[in-house]
């Protein structure tokens, strides 16, 4: 058991370092190529923080471990809303720009609903993956067009996300080193984490789905947690909320889309009976909180955090198999 826990911690550490290196290298490359801050923030930083989830889920799908592949995404999205935004709101109440709320907030909820519809009591097929990836491409086009062509305070959010990455390599060889090292750490970290997660599940005789929904999901969400907490402490609320909304959209449409394209992903019974409903409820509750006052208060953040604690208790005590 200690060996499995050590592998999980080592895998999470490598994924975190790899994600950081990849993001910093990508931001530096974007600046060198004079890519707009808006585009680099939207694509590189907003979705780059989901790199650990992407690598782990795709790797799990390729190794015929669908419970971890799907559980990682569903669990990460639940954690992003209840844990990360709950903690951020406790640090500092967060307001949100109307454009991000109307576009990203609504699309995040619709993506969750689309996932539930496509799973349909069974799982995700290759056909479902094309629908998810097509929806992702449409979202990227809509997001970039709306930010580029409409002058609003929200247009600065994605650029601010890129600016949050302050320490980046300057020389070309360092940029390449960061990109290669980041990718290598992500790939190696995913292998180590999966090995430890499967071993731990076997040791305690619990399903891989439970491990994927909890330990793996929290571990791969550390980049979102760090970026969002730093933004909250700096009073950059839109960055924290935009990061979580964008990450959740990419997790469902992009990661599950790619994973299901490689290997059909059957849904574990507990995901269908419990976790999928928690994901939908979390998404709708967050949207309700944001729409009612266009902000997330400390009280609401505390409620989200309590919800995550309750989710963890139920995950192991009631739905632990």
Mean pLDDT value of segment 279-305: 90
pLDDT value at residue 111: 96
pLDDT value at residue 46: 59
> Is the predicted pLDDT of residue 116 greater than 90, yes or no?
yes
Query: Residue 237: which pLDDT band, with cuts at 50, 70 and 90?
Result: low
Distances (CA, A) of 86 to 83, 210, 312: 5, 22, 15
- State whether residue 266 is helix, strand or coil: strand
Q: At what angle do helices 237-250 and 222-233 cross, to 10 degrees?
A: 160
Q: Which residues, 6 or more positions from 141, have their beta carbon under 8 angstroms from its beta carbon?
A: none
Mean pLDDT value of segment 113-140: 92
Mean pLDDT of the chain: 80
pLDDT value at residue 45: 59
> Is the predicted pLDDT of residue 23 greater than 50, yes or no?
yes
Eight-class DSSP state of 152: S
Q: Which residue has the higher pLDDT, 256 or 154?
A: 256
Q: Which residue has the higher pLDDT, 41 or 125?
A: 125
Q: Which residue has the higher pLDDT, 186 or 89?
A: 89
Query: What pLDDT, in 10s, does the model give residues 171-193?
Result: 777 878 887 887 788 778 777 87
Residue 310 to residue 158: CA distance in whole angstroms: 33
> Is the predicted pLDDT of residue 321 greater than 60, yes or no?
no
Mean pLDDT value of segment 135-142: 88
pLDDT value at residue 300: 92
Phi-psi region of 267 (alpha: psi -120 to 50; beta: other; left: phi over 0): beta
Other residues' Cβ atoms within 10 Å of the Cβ of residue 188: 16
Only one residue has tokens 């399903």, namely 207
Query: What pLDDT, in 10s, does the model give residues 300-311?
Result: 999 999 999 999
Distances (CA, A) of 93 to 99, 231, 246, 271, 295: 19, 12, 20, 32, 7
Q: Which domains does the chain have, with CATH numbers?
A: 37-152+209-320 (1.20.1420.30)
- Residues 89/297, Cβ–Cβ less than 8 Å: yes
pLDDT value at residue 153: 46
- Residues 258/133, Cβ–Cβ less than 8 Å: yes
Q: Which residue has the higher pLDDT, 219 or 159?
A: 219
Highest mean pLDDT among 91-105, 180-194, 227-241, 267-281 belongs to 267-281
Eight-class DSSP state of 153: G
């Amino acid at each position: 058991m200690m060996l499995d826990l050590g592998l999980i911690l080592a895998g999470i550490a490598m994924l975190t370092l790899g994600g950081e290196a990849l993001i910093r290298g990508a931001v530096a490359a974007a600046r060198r190529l004079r890519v707009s801050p808006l585009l680099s923030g939207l694509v590189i930083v907003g979705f780059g923080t989901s790199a650990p989830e992407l690598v782990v889920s795709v790797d799990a799908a390729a190794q015929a471990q669908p419970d971890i592949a799907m559980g990682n995404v569903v669990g990460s999205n639940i954690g992003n809303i209840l844990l990360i935004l709950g903690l951020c709101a406790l640090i500092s109440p967060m307001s949100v720009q109307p454009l991000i709320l109307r576009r990203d907030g609504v699309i995040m909820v619709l993506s969750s609903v689309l996932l539930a519809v496509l799973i349909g009591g069974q799982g995700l097929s290759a056909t479902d993956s094309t629908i998810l990836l097509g929806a992702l491409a449409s979202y990227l086009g809509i997001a970039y067009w709306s930010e580029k062509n409409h002058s609003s305070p929200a247009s600065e959010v994605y650029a601010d996300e890129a600016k949050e990455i302050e320490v980046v390599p300057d020389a070309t060889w360092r940029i390449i080193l960061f990109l290669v090292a980041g990718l290598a750490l992500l790939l190696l970290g995913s292998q180590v984490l999966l090995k430890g997660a499967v071993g731990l599940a076997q040791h305690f005789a619990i399903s891989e789905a439970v491990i994927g929904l909890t330990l793996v999901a929290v571990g791969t969400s550390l980049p979102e947690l760090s970026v969002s907490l730093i933004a909250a402490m700096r009073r950059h609320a839109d960055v924290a909320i935009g990061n979580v909304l964008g990450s959740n959209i990419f997790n469902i449409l992009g990661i599950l889309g790619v994973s299901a394209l490689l290997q059909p992903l059957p849904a574990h019974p507990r995901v269908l009976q419990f976790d999928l409903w928690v994901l939908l409820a979390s998404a709708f509750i967050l949207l309700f909180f944001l729409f009612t006052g266009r902000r997330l208060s400390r009280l609401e953040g505390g409620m989200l955090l309590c919800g995550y604690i309750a989710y963890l208790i139920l995950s192991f005590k009631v739905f632990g198999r």
